[in-house]
């Protein structure tokens, strides 16, 4: 029976490696697993007998323990790794890659006594990485060299980490054309007749394979928005050809984006293809935007979306994911851009768009509809955000075009709110009220201030009188204050002069003169 | 009594019945210096008040939010700018001048002077007080309310003048037949026709105007006056009586024309609004009170 003095302690814990983040994919792991990197990497004990050395601890972390403290080892005679031995424990745990990219996977661990191996080869360090296809696993074992170690001591460090990196693109898009054949994969030809056009062709495609076309920053809206890659998934043809063309504006023979939440179109992408609709399962579009451009246009990356034009001419929205910064780093994408990914099952003209808030006034009420000078009137405006993005606006009440009150309102999509805009009106008269600051200015009706019998009409006289009043410079400036009262809310009382206009009085005198002249004329007419 | 329609038996023999100088001479003979002094004193007082500093004048205006008995009176003699003052003085001279001439020629000088005194001394309080019925943050001022009272007196003076000069058989009691259409006329002027609803101001002016005319017609028929005949006779009288007829015609023209001036369609100015309410009050009160006294025979001379 071996004693503890003859064995070493080998207990390792996988570091939950937050930096290992992949794009989201479906997990194919049966049973419990230690997943990380957005669940795109899963680690679980291997199926074979050596899998017992690995187990998930209470924190669901993978732990490797080759000692008697391992709860999986029921054999009471097992004591651990012997001193002065070399050997390999194969297939202790498996790393499975569950996303839809190729990934290089390796293990970071520093110990001269313990080496992580796969198929007998070390996988420690990036140089020794193994490449995993989607849903591919690698079984990892341990190579031990315990020569020169003292019994009872801990063997190696406590923790190790698994590192992964999306495999670099196999082919590089050329300025004119490039052809690349990956090992066992299809032959892909990319031609770039212009900045905004790519012609892709792929041949020797395995049944159901994914074909990846690198667009290499094809312009959709100049360099502001570019198409970076098109992936055709589940291709059932032996060869496919795809032409992609980008435009900031609708194509000459196409329609402009017109969809219910009134998104703002950013760019259009026409995808012509030589395959039938059912020959490909789906197309994933990867595109990116200049953050400065997004900022300048007030576009939140989360509001960027894609619409596909259906055969009927309608625009159907496709969900768009913003690619996480860590994944951008991991995939070696340009970090100075915002990257997006969208998938569509049918391929046709697409519009890159941004959801925008759209604030409309749906109802307004004025209360009261008539006030005395100096009183306050309140306009209640019901405002709805009919757009696809949340937003905040400052809604302004205008009287005869002049702003008199404002209120900020923030609304989520399809949310409705009522704002009360109150203002005092000093100067008598009729005010045309409107609610501005929304996407369409809304008429809010008419407010009558002052004598309700005197509204409207063509009273030049009153205007002239009022003007003369405002112009009374000799009066010590009071005329000015009367004029100011018209321009906005103030505490000044309205002036109610009871008077008549000189010009109209002249008209009256003319009438009197006419009557007298008429009487005189009538007097001279011969009587019958 | 002579057969001449424009003379009364007790009138001065110096008058030549058919010439304008006759009107002038008769007027000259009947006018009293003290009356003229009173009449002229009003514009003088208005001018004197206008000469006060603006702050003082403003303090004399009637603030509806802070009404006092003193400002209720003084406000009607306050003007803040010269065009306002000039308009009111001109209106006053026209109305008071024609009214006084009609009154003295009709032998109703006392009636006119009492009415004028009432308008100058009592009406300011009444008009200001009635203005408080519509509370608002505003100040009222200006002589126009009293001017409008003189306009309201005009139909009465024209009535007694016409009865005295042209239609000795006519009855003063029929005068509301003139008053109601005049009020309707003011409504038509002040309430513009627009495409508003039935309850809006669009039709209110017209409706009031029609109602006023109908009331006038009803009133006239109830007092046995045939309107078309009365109008024709009035026109004939005006034409066939040089001088006196002219004065009558001028009075009628003022009566119809002054509301156009006093009730502008758009009373709003820069920072101010013309107080049409006071105008209507002045006109109506000035007609109703004196009419009652006249109808009761209080001023038969």
pLDDT of residue A356: 84
For residues A87, A91, A94, A95, the Cα torsion angle rounded to the nearest 10 degrees is: 40
Instruction: Convert A384-393 to b/e letters by CB count within 10 Å (16 or more is b).
Output: bbbbbbbbeb
Query: Which ranges constitute the DSSP H helices of A211-308?
Result: 291-296
Distance of alpha carbon B260 from alpha carbon B254, whole angstroms = 10
Which of A393, A364, A357 is CA-nearest to residue A378? A364
pLDDT of residue A258: 81
Measured between beta carbons, which residues in chain B are less than 8 angstroms from residue A462?
264, 266-269, 273-274
B121: pLDDT confidence band, cut at 50, 70 and 90? very high
Contact A495 B139 (CB under 8 A): yes
Contact A496 B253 (CB under 8 A): no
Distance of alpha carbon B31 from alpha carbon B102, whole angstroms = 11
As a 3-state breakdown, chain A gives helix, strand, coil percent values, each rounded to 5, of: 15, 45, 40
| A427, A505, A514: residue with CB nearest B271 | A427
Which of A51, A11, A17, A10 is CA-nearest to residue A31? A51
B202: pLDDT confidence band, cut at 50, 70 and 90? low
Unique residue bearing structure tokens 């009947």: B30
pLDDT of residue B193: 59
pLDDT (mean) for A376-397: 86
Unique residue bearing structure tokens 């001479």: B25
Would you call B201 an interface residue with chain A, using a CB distance cutoff of 8 Å? Answer: yes
pLDDT of residue B150: 94
pLDDT digits (tens, 9 = 90+) for B64-80: 888 899 999 999 999 98
Q: In this structure, what DSSP letter does residue A301 have?
A: G
pLDDT greater than 80 at residue B35:
yes
Flag the least confident range among A91-105, A152-166, B95-109, B202-216: A152-166
Measured between beta carbons, which residues in chain A are less than 8 angstroms from residue B66?
none
| A451, A482, A512: residue with CB nearest B267 | A451
Distance of alpha carbon A515 from alpha carbon A461, whole angstroms = 23
Instruction: Convert B247-273 to b/e letters by CB count within 10 Å (16 or more is b).
Output: bbbbbbbbbebbbbbbbbbbbbbbbbb
pLDDT greater than 60 at residue A262:
yes
pLDDT digits (tens, 9 = 90+) for A87-117: 888 888 888 877 777 778 888 887 777 888 8
Burial zone of A30 (CB within 10 Å; 0-12 exposed, 13-18 middle, 19+ buried): exposed
B301: three-class secondary structure by DSSP: coil
- Segment 478-497 of chain A within 8 Å of chain B by CB: 478-479, 481-486, 492-497
For residues B18, B19, B21, B26, the Cα torsion angle rounded to the nearest 10 degrees is: 20
Flag the least confident range among A268-282, A437-451, B271-285: A437-451
Give A43's strand partners.
A34, A95
| A430, A498, A501: residue with CB nearest B145 | A498
CB atoms inside a 10 Å sphere around CB B41: 12
C-alpha distances (whole Å) from A199 to each of A179, A225, A243, A319, A434 are: 12, 19, 4, 25, 53
pLDDT of residue B151: 93
Distance of alpha carbon A11 from alpha carbon A9, whole angstroms = 6
Strands A359-367, A86-97: pairing kind: unpaired
pLDDT (mean) for B99-117: 92
Distance of alpha carbon A137 from alpha carbon A118, whole angstroms = 11
pLDDT greater than 80 at residue A13:
no
Measured between beta carbons, which residues in chain A are less than 8 angstroms from residue B268?
427-430, 450, 454, 459, 462-463, 466
Distance of alpha carbon B263 from alpha carbon A459, whole angstroms = 9
Beta strand spans in A146-208 (E): 159-166, 177-181, 187-194, 197-203
CB atoms inside a 10 Å sphere around CB A96: 21
Query: Which ranges constitute the DSSP H helices of A213-365?
Result: 291-296, 325-330
Supply the angle between the helices A460-470 and B82-106 in degrees, to the nearest 10.
130
pLDDT digits (tens, 9 = 90+) for A317-341: 888 888 888 778 777 788 889 999 9
Residue with the bigger pLDDT between A58 and A400: it is A400
Unique residue bearing structure tokens 């340009």: A334
Edge-to-edge strand order for the sheet containing A137-145? A34-36, A41-45, A86-97, A137-145, A114-118, A121-122
Measured between beta carbons, which residues in chain B are less than 8 angstroms from residue A509?
94
User: What does the angle CA A396 – CA A401 – CA A406 come to, to the nearest 5 degrees?
Assistant: 15
The token pair at A309 is 């034009």
pLDDT digits (tens, 9 = 90+) for A295-317: 888 888 888 999 988 888 888 88
Give A385's strand partners.
A359
DSSP string across A276-289: -GGG-SEEEEEEEE
pLDDT of residue A482: 36
Would you call A448 an interface residue with chain B, using a CB distance cutoff of 8 Å? Answer: no
pLDDT (mean) for B182-197: 73
Strands A264-273, A240-247: pairing kind: antiparallel
DSSP string across B152-219: HHHHHHHHHHHHHHT-TT--GGGTHHHHHHHHHHHHHHHS---S--TTSHHHHHHHHHHHHHHHHHHH
pLDDT digits (tens, 9 = 90+) for A391-417: 888 888 888 888 888 888 888 888 888
CB atoms inside a 10 Å sphere around CB B231: 10
pLDDT digits (tens, 9 = 90+) for A200-212: 988 888 888 888 8
Measured between beta carbons, which residues in chain B are less than 8 angstroms from residue A494?
136-139, 271-273
B112: pLDDT confidence band, cut at 50, 70 and 90? very high
pLDDT greater than 50 at residue A36:
yes
Mean pLDDT of chain A: 76
- Segment 149-168 of chain A within 8 Å of chain B by CB: none
What does R_g of chain A's alpha carbons equal in angstroms?
Answer: 40
pLDDT greater than 60 at residue A246:
yes
Contact A508 B258 (CB under 8 A): yes
Contact B274 A498 (CB under 8 A): yes
B14: three-class secondary structure by DSSP: coil
The token pair at B115 is 């009415």
Q: Which residues fall within 8 angstroms of residue B258, CB to CB, at 6 or more apart?
A: A508, B91, B94, B95, B148, B151, B154
Q: What are phi and psi of A186, to 5 degrees?
A: -75, 160
Contact B145 A476 (CB under 8 A): no
Unique residue bearing structure tokens 């970071």: A108
The token pair at B254 is 């003022």
Asked if B236 and A525 count as a contact pair (C-beta separation under 8 A), the reply is no
Contact A466 B254 (CB under 8 A): no
pLDDT (mean) for B281-300: 86
Would you call A519 an interface residue with chain B, using a CB distance cutoff of 8 Å? Answer: yes
pLDDT (mean) for B174-195: 80
CB contacts < 8 Å between A and B, how many? 262
pLDDT of residue A464: 34
Asked if B110 and B32 count as a contact pair (C-beta separation under 8 A), the reply is no
Q: In this structure, what DSSP letter does residue A215 have?
A: E
DSSP string across B263-292: S-S--EETTEE--HHHHHHHHHHHHHHHHH
Contact B269 A466 (CB under 8 A): yes
pLDDT of residue B192: 63
pLDDT of residue A12: 67
pLDDT digits (tens, 9 = 90+) for A494-527: 777 777 778 888 888 898 888 888 888 888 876 5
User: What does the angle CA A269 – CA A273 – CA A278 come to, to the nearest 5 degrees?
Assistant: 110
Which stretch of DSSP H or E encloses residue B79? none
Q: What are phi and psi of A379, to 5 degrees?
A: -105, 125
Which stretch of DSSP H or E encloses residue A113? none
* CA dihedral sign, ordered A512, A517, A521, A523: positive
Contact B249 A450 (CB under 8 A): no
| B76, B238, B268: residue with CB nearest A519 | B238
Supply the angle between the helices B144-165 and B109-121 in degrees, to the nearest 10.
170
Which of A165, A198, A200, A166 is CA-nearest to residue A180? A200
Q: In this structure, what DSSP letter does residue B26 have?
A: H
- Segment 332-391 of chain A within 8 Å of chain B by CB: 372-375
Q: In this structure, what DSSP letter does residue A467 have?
A: H
Contact A482 B272 (CB under 8 A): yes
Edge-to-edge strand order for the sheet containing B62-63? B62-63, B138-141, A494-497, B272-273, B268-269
pLDDT of residue B284: 92
pLDDT of residue B125: 92
Q: Would you call the peptide bond into A355 cis, given omega within 30 degrees of 0 as the criterion?
A: no
Its pTM stands at: 0.43
Contact B270 A427 (CB under 8 A): yes
CA distance B297 to chain A (A): 31
pLDDT of residue A9: 64
pLDDT greater than 50 at residue A447:
yes
pLDDT of residue A168: 58
Number of residues assigned to chain B:
301
Flag the least confident range among A183-197, A274-288, A448-462, B158-172: A448-462
Mean pLDDT of chain B: 82
Q: What are phi and psi of A331, to 5 degrees?
A: -85, 0
Would you call A470 an interface residue with chain B, using a CB distance cutoff of 8 Å? Answer: yes
| Structure ipTM | 0.80
Distance of alpha carbon B107 from alpha carbon B295, whole angstroms = 16
């Amino acid at each position: 029976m071996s004693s503890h003095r003859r064995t070493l302690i080998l207990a390792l814990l996988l570091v939950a490696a937050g930096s290992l983040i992949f794009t989201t994919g479906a997990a194919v792991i049966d049973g419990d697993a230690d997943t990380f990197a957005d669940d795109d990497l899963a680690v679980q004990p291997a199926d074979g007998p050596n899998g017992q050395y690995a187990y998930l601890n209470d924190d669901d972390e993978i732990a490797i323990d080759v000692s008697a403290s391992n709860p999986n080892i029921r054999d009471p005679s097992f004591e651990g790794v012997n001193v002065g031995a070399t050997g390999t424990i194969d297939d202790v745990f498996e790393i499975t890659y569950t996303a839809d990219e190729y990934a290089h996977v390796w293990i970071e661990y520093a110990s001269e006594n313990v080496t992580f191996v796969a198929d007998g080869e070390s996988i420690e360090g990036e140089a020794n990485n193994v490449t995993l296809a989607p849903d591919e696993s690698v079984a990892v074992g341990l190579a031990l060299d315990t020569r020169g170690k003292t019994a009872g001591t801990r063997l190696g460090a406590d923790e190790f980490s698994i590192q992964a990196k999306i495999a670099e693109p196999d082919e590089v898009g050329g300025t004119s054309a490039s052809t690349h054949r990956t090992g066992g994969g299809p032959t892909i030809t990319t031609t770039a007749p212009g900045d905004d056009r790519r012609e892709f062709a792929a041949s020797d495609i395995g049944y159901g394979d994914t074909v990846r076309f690198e667009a290499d920053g094809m312009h959709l809206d100049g360099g502001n928005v570019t198409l970076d890659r098109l992936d055709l998934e589940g291709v059932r043809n032996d060869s496919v050809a795809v032409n992609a063309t980008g435009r900031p504006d609708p194509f000459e023979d196409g329609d402009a984006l017109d969809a219910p939440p009134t998104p703002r179109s950013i760019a259009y992408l026409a995808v012509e293809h030589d395959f039938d609709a059912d020959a490909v399962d789906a197309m994933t579009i990867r595109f990116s935007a200049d953050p400065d451009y997004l900022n300048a246009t007030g576009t939140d990356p989360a509001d960027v979306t894609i619409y596909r034009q259906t055969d009927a001419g309608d625009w159907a929205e496709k969900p768009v994911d913003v690619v996480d910064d860590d994944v951008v780093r991991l995939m070696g994408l340009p970090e100075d851009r915002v990257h997006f990914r969208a998938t569509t099952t049918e391929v046709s003209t697409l519009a890159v768009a941004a959801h925008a808030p759209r604030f409309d006034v749906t109802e307004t009420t004025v209360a009261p509809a008539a006030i005395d000078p100096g009183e306050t009137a309140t306009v209640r405006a019901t405002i709805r955000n009919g757009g696809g993005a949340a937003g905040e606006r400052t809604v302004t009440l205008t009287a005869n075009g002049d702003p008199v009150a404002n209120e900020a309102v923030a609304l989520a999509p399809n949310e409705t709110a009522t704002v009360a805009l109150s203002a005092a009106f000093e100067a008598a008269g009729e005010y045309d009220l409107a609610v501005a600051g929304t996407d369409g200015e809304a008429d809010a009706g008419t407010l009558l201030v002052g004598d309700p019998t005197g509204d409207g009409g063509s009273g030049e006289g009153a205007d002239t009188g009022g003007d003369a009043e405002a112009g009374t410079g000799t009066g010590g400036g009071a005329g000015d204050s009367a004029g100011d009262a018209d321009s906005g809310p103030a505490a000044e009382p309205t002036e109610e002069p009871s008077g008549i206009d000189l010009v109209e009085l002249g008209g009256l005198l003319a009438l009197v003169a006419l009557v007298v002249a008429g009487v005189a004329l009538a007097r001279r007419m011969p009587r019958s | 009594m002579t057969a001449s329609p424009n003379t009364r038996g007790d009138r001065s023999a110096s008058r030549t019945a058919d010439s304008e100088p006759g009107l002038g001479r008769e007027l000259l003979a009947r006018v009293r210096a003290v009356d003229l002094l009173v009449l002229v004193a009003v514009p003088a007082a208005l001018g004197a008040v206008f000469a006060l500093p603006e702050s003082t004048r403003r303090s004399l205006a009637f603030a509806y939010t802070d009404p006092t008995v003193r400002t209720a009176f003084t406000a009607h003699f306050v003007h803040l700018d010269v065009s306002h003052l000039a308009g009111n003085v001109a209106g006053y001279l026209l109305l008071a001048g024609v009214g006084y001439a009609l009154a003295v020629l009709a032998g109703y000088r006392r009636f006119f002077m009492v009415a004028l005194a009432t308008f100058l001394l009592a009406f300011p309080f009444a008009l200001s007080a009635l203005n408080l019925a519509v509370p608002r943050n505003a100040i009222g001022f200006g002589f126009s309310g009293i001017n409008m009272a003189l306009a309201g007196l005009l139909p009465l003076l024209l009535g007694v003048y016409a009865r005295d000069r042209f239609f000795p058989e006519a009855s003063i009691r029929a005068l509301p037949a003139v008053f109601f259409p005049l009020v309707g006329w003011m409504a038509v002027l002040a309430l513009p026709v627009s495409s508003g609803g039935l309850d809006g101001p669009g039709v209110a002016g017209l409706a009031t105007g029609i109602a006023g005319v109908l009331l006038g017609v009803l009133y006239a028929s109830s007092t046995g006056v045939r309107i078309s005949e009365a109008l024709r006779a009035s026109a004939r009288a005006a034409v066939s009586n040089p001088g006196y007829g002219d004065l009558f015609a001028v009075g009628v023209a003022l009566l119809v024309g002054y509301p156009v001036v006093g009730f502008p369609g758009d009373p709003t100015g820069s920072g101010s609004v013309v107080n049409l309410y006071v105008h209507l009050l002045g006109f109506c009160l000035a007609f109703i009170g004196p009419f009652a006294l006249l109808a009761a025979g209080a001023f038969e001379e």
